[in-house]
Structure formats: structure tokens, C-alpha cells
Amino acid sequence: ACTPFTLYLACAPDRFPDNAGIASVRGALQRMDDLQNRQYVGRLSHQYIQDANDVLQSLDHGMQVYSYRSAYRSQRALAWAAGR
């Protein structure tokens, strides 16, 4: 299920520069949705904070991978264009 928030990152076609980063972000966003639906004993319970922190770290990792690979591909394209 794609929401407007997740549409660009999580539901985009796999033709993006880094499929691994997109897959990681997609998984993190799915887990974020699961967090909202899970029943915790109090929203500030230790387990909720731990799970939310884990999801945010996964999301951050996915974005870093995606950004790194995109920058790498851009550099390769520029180097190729400069070498022509």
C-alpha cells in the first residue's frame, strides 16, 4: 500500500541508481507502518523506543547507501563525459 509519503521512495520502479538502497528504505518504511499498528503498553515504553530507533537507523542506512551510489554514478557519468 503506497501512501503519498512513501510513493516516491518506496513504490518507485527499480530503475533507480541503487536498488539496494531503495529496498532498504522500502523495508524501513514498511516497518514504520507496522510500528504504528502494533499495540504497545504505553507509547513511551522501552520496547517502542527501541523498535522505533531501529527503524530510523535502517531508514538512515538506506538513504546513505542510495545517496552514495547515486553520487558514484554521477561522478562516473561526468568522468565519461569529460573524457570524450
From first to last of its 84 residues, what are the pLDDT tens digits of the chain?
Answer: 445 444 444 555 444 455 666 777 778 888 878 877 777 766 667 877 788 888 888 778 777 777 776 777 777 777 777 775
Q: Domain count of the chain?
A: 1
Count of other CB atoms within 10 angstroms of residue 31: 17
Q: Which domain holds residue 51?
A: 4-82
pLDDT at 43: 62
pLDDT at 23: 75
**Cβ pair 46, 15 in contact under 8 A:** no
pLDDT at 84: 55
Against a cut of 0.85, is the pTM above it?
A: no
